[in-house]
Amino acid sequence: MAMMTDTAGLRAGYVAQTARRYFVLAMAAALLTLSFVVDVATGPGNYPLRTVIETLFDPVAHGVQIKVIIWDYRLPIAVTAVIVGALLAVAGAQMQTILNNPLAEPFTLGVSSAASFGAALAIVMGWSVLPVVGALMVTVNAFVFALLTCGFILFATRLKGVGSETMILFGIAIFFTFSALLALMQYMASEDQIARIVFWMMGSLGRASWEKIALGAALLAVVIPFGLMRSWQMTALRMGETTAQSMGVDVARLRVEMLIVVSILAATAVAFVGTVGFIGLVGPHIARMIVGEDQRFFLPLSALAGALVLSLTSIISKSLTPGVIYPIGIITALIGVPVFVSIILSTRRRSLS
Amino acid sequence: MTLTIQGLHARYGAVPVLHDVTLAPILPGQFVGMIGPNASGKSTLFKTLSGLVRPSHGTIRFGDTDLCRLCRRDRARCIAYMPQAFGCNAILTVYESVLLALKQTTGWRVADANHDRVAQTLAALNLSHLADRGLGNLSGGQAQMVAVAQTLVRDPAIVLLDEPTSALDLHHQLSILSSVRAEMQRRGTIVMAALHDLNLAAKFCDRLILIREGRIMADGTPEDILSLPEIGETYRVETALERTRRGSLYVDATLGAAY
């Protein structure tokens, strides 16, 4: 009898924990919605919140001028912040799990600097990796270089004796290589070109367009279910490679599959907004601290947390100085990092409930 | 169904680790102790049986099934291998980590039957009180017992435990091995455990297999095996097998002059 109640008690505990996690996901989604609306409502022009919300539901409710500002300027930027935040965070979350390293993300693995070099190559030399891309040359170059770097990382993980620490060292090597090449590009560039490169590297949501948004959303719609389907295996990977294998996970195959998928995510996100460090790190870390590492909750919460953080960054970038929109890459580093460090320090000793 | 191993060879790169390992059929419910010094091939044998290492020659059969032909998932359903404990830094509770092991070979959704299995396994190993504890807050011994729970929860036909008692105190060494033995005999599960403590091996095993440099040196009842002169030679000590007043076998080992 004692064992019966024991069994029921354990299950009840787990069920309650699961319910709490769904609640956290719902709260995060609600916060994201709120942040999104505020993001759309802030900006030069100072329209009242009500006017903005009414325009969202009925574009021409307050005239064509507001419609253009909301629908053609603010909305694409706000949606891009959400999508790119989620892309970067999902990429970071999966990289951290696959490479078994909490520091792994597109920025620390050198993917961002490779993309910057690709962009610079297009800006300075007018040289495109893929022909016939026209105006999209900068974005396409950034994407291709980011993808090649991910391919190199994938290759490196297959080498014998390359552990998780070595991966980050590879990332640093990639970072310095492309930084040097980038400096070379800047040395060769004209003043105007230097300005464009620097602005690209700072990371900006201003390059938003509905085509990019559709592409990013489609990627998320494919990758998140893909990750969720493999969530039990991915969680098992956190128990250690040998343990995961002994549980029946084909670790080598899982790694390759996930890295390919994640490479495309990371390359896309970086190509869209430029260098935005920290989101791929902070999204997963916040998620991990709240729901632990059961990937069924960790992955979606990482996506929501990343989206929320970038959306908040977008709001802050418009609010610091009236009439000025600062590049988000600067904001994420200046405001996000101290907040992040304080979160880590304050929750480090708290055990998981 | 019985487990038969015939002519098994395995190598790491060019280094051969197992040489022609052939064992008499292992019967359901049998508790087999693998003994032998460090680096004698015990872990490699377990890894080869569970499919983590591919044998270069030989067959592994369970009943009529050739285990080497099974896909990874089916093989894991049949054979559960507990690697030596190294600890991990995953942020999961004990309950989650045991459920996780079970979910690798069952459907995506967490069913009621899954909860029953996890709770029963934790209860059988006296671990229920740790269920909500985070893996990071466990002692080495607790982590090892949780690893055993992760292995048993899958209800496999064959369980391979690599040094399941290395981090445990005396009480828990005895309690975990007797729980495992009782539970596995009830289910008719084959257990193979690599053990360093010969007295523990004598107490719990139906059969002992002495392995040295990747070769099977001896195979038989604990009393037969532990009284062999090869035991002393293999471990490079002088041994004498005695029976205590309570009837247990006791291996008295000294370093001796020869070593």
Residue B106 phi, psi dihedral angles, 5° rounding: -125, 175
Count the helix, strand and coil residues of chain A and give each as a percent rounded to the nearest 5: 80, 0, 20
User: Is B116 in contact with A292 (Cβ distance < 8 A)?
Assistant: no
User: Is B88 in contact with A239 (Cβ distance < 8 A)?
Assistant: yes
Q: What is the pLDDT of residue A70?
A: 85
Closest to A44 (Cα-Cα) out of A321, A331, A312: A321
A322: helix, strand or coil = coil
Number of domains in chain A: 1
The letter for the amino acid at B181 is R
- The reply to whether A353 falls in a domain is no
Number of domains in chain B: 1
Q: Which residues contact A75 (CB under 8 A, 6 or more apart)?
A: A40, A56
User: Is B86 in contact with A292 (Cβ distance < 8 A)?
Assistant: no
Q: What CATH number should be reported for the domain holding residue A116? A: 1.10.3470.10
Helix or strand (DSSP H, E) at B22: strand B15-26
Q: What is the pLDDT of residue A340?
A: 73
Distance CA A103, CA A319 (A): 30
Residues in chain A: 353
**Which pLDDT tens digit goes with each residue over B117-128?**
999 999 999 999
Question: Which residue positions in chain B have pLDDT lower than 50?
Answer: none
Asked if residues B72 and B35 have their Cβ atoms less than 8 Å apart, the reply is no
- The reply to whether A2 falls in a domain is no
When CB atoms are compared, the residue of A7, A235, A242 closest to B116 is: A7
Tell me which residue has tokens 């949780």: B146
Q: What CATH number should be reported for the domain holding residue B149? A: 3.40.50.300
Residues of chain B neighbouring A11 (CB-CB closer than 8 A):
112, 115-116, 119
Asked if residues A266 and A88 have their Cβ atoms less than 8 Å apart, the reply is yes
Q: What is the pLDDT of residue B152?
A: 93
A1, A4, A5, A10: best to mutate for the B interface, most B CBs within 10 A: A10
Distance CA A105, CA B232 (A): 54
Q: A235 in contact with B at a CB cutoff of 8 Å?
A: yes
Asked if residues A248 and B102 have their Cβ atoms less than 8 Å apart, the reply is no
CA distance readout (Å), A62 to A51, A58, A96, B130:
7, 9, 47, 61
Q: What is the pLDDT of residue A133?
A: 64
Q: Which residues contact B5 (CB under 8 A, 6 or more apart)?
A: B21, B22, B23, B49, B58, B59, B60, B61
Residue A288's closest chain B neighbor by CA? B91
Taking the CA atoms of B176, B177, B182 and B183 in sequence, report the sign of the dihedral they define. positive
Structure tokens belonging to residue B206:
């139906």
B100, B114, B116, B132: best to mutate for the A interface, most A CBs within 10 A: B100
Asked if residues B43 and B238 have their Cβ atoms less than 8 Å apart, the reply is no
- The reply to whether B226 falls in a domain is no
Residue A78 phi, psi dihedral angles, 5° rounding: -65, -40
Question: How many Cβ pairs closer than 8 A exist between chain A and B?
Answer: 104
Q: What is the pLDDT of residue A158?
A: 75
Instruction: Count CB-CB contacts under 10 A for residue A112.
Output: 30
- What ipTM was estimated for this complex? 0.88
Q: Which residues contact A229 (CB under 8 A, 6 or more apart)?
A: B108
| Rama region for B111: left / alpha / beta (φ>0; ψ in -120 to 50; rest) | beta
Q: What is the pLDDT of residue A123?
A: 86
Range of the domain at A92: 20-347
Question: Which residue positions in chain A have pLDDT lower than 50?
Answer: 1-2, 349-353
A3, A5, A242, A246: best to mutate for the B interface, most B CBs within 10 A: A246
Q: What is the pLDDT of residue A111?
A: 86
Structure tokens belonging to residue B32:
């087999």
Q: B118 in contact with A at a CB cutoff of 8 Å?
A: yes
- The reply to whether A15 falls in a domain is no
- The reply to whether B240 falls in a domain is no
Q: What is the pLDDT of residue A353?
A: 38
Q: A10 in contact with B at a CB cutoff of 8 Å?
A: yes
Q: Which of residues 14-53 of A touch B (CB under 8 A)?
A: 14, 17
Q: What is the pLDDT of residue B43?
A: 92
Q: What is the pLDDT of residue A351?
A: 41
Query: Distance, in angstroms, between A3 CA and closest chain B CA?
Result: 7
Residues of chain A neighbouring B112 (CB-CB closer than 8 A):
11
Structure tokens belonging to residue B180:
């495992």
Residues of chain B neighbouring A164 (CB-CB closer than 8 A):
none
When CB atoms are compared, the residue of B90, B120, B154 closest to A238 is: B90
β B158-162/B190-194 pair status:
parallel
A50: helix, strand or coil = helix
- The reply to whether B114 falls in a domain is yes
Q: A100 in contact with B at a CB cutoff of 8 Å?
A: no
Range of the domain at B28: 3-220
